[in-house]
């Protein structure tokens, strides 16, 4: 495994739509393992492939509940969203920028695992917020455009 460089918001890779993952091969597994290590080192809650310069639909979320198992979502789609939550978000690609974003309170995500098997997950709270944020990265969208109120430095989100 290796730590990959997290690109900054000015990098064009963060502003375009990512392509689906088509090959569930060793190369994907290395990417996912590297993303996990990179996320752990950065102490974030989520990381999308374009943030390490790869224009493919893969994200890692660390929901940080009892087991700090990170979840790999390949080609994820949100099937259902409900409710509303407003809280402070940040992004590893936008250091020192924080702001309030409204997200669904709960969502159901369908994705593939590293071997291409489909599964569904029900997420709520921070995990739901994190998944929504990371999935936006796959569309080339940054949380900054959703912020309704910027806040001074904090360590939330």
> Which part of the chain contacts Ni ion (CB under 5 A), choosing from 5-13, 21-29, 74-82, 89-97?
89-97
The least distance separating Ni ion from the CB of residue 133, rounded to whole angstroms, comes to 5
Task: Confirm or reject binding of residue 157 to Ni ion (CB under 5 A).
Answer: no
Give the C-alpha distances (Å, rounded to integers) separating 134 from 14, 138, 147: 11, 7, 15
In the complex, least distance from residue 32 CB atom to Ni ion, rounded to whole angstroms: 17
Among 58, 59, 91, 101, indicate the residue that binds Ni ion (CB under 5 A): 91
CA distance 88 to 26: 36
Give whole-number Cα distances, 153 to 40, 47, 143, in Å: 21, 20, 16
- The alpha carbons of the chain give a radius of gyration, in whole angstroms, of 14
CB of 14 to Ni ion, least distance (A): 8
Residue 110 tokens, joined? 């369908």
Q: Determine the size of the site formed for Ni ion (CB under 5 A).
A: 1
Residue with token string 């310069």: 53
* Interface region with Ni ion, contact rule CB under 5 A, candidates 8-16, 29-37, 72-80, 84-92: 84-92
In terms of CB distance, is 22 or 87 closer to Ni ion? Answer: 87
Please confirm, yes or no, whether 37 is among the known catalytic residues.
Answer: no
Smallest distance, Å, CB 12 to Ni ion? 16
Q: What are phi and psi of 41, to 5 degrees?
A: -65, -40
Task: Please tell me which residue in 22, 66, 120, 134 is annotated as part of the active site.
Answer: 134
List the 46-48 sheet strands across, edge first: 46-48, 58-62, 70-82, 106-112, 118-124
Residues that bind Ni ion (CB under 5 A): 91
């Amino acid at each position: 495994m290796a730590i990959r460089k997290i690109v900054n918001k000015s990098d064009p890779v963060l502003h375009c739509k990512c392509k689906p993952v088509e090959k569930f091969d060793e190369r994907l597994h290395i990417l996912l393992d590297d993303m996990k290590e990179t996320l752990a080192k950065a102490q974030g809650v989520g990381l999308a492939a374009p943030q390490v310069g790869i224009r493919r639909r893969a994200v890692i979320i660390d929901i940080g509940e009892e087991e700090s198992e990170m979840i790999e979502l390949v080609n994820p789609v949100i099937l259902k969203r409900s409710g509303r939550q407003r809280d402070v978000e940040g992004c590893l690609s936008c250091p020192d920028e924080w702001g309030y974003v409204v997200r669904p309170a709960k969502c159901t995500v369908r994705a593939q695992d590293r071997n291409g098997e489909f599964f569904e997950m029900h997420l709520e709270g921070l995990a739901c917020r994190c998944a929504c944020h990371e999935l936006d990265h796959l569309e080339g969208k940054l949380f900054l455009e959703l912020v309704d109120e910027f806040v001074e430095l904090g360590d939330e989100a």
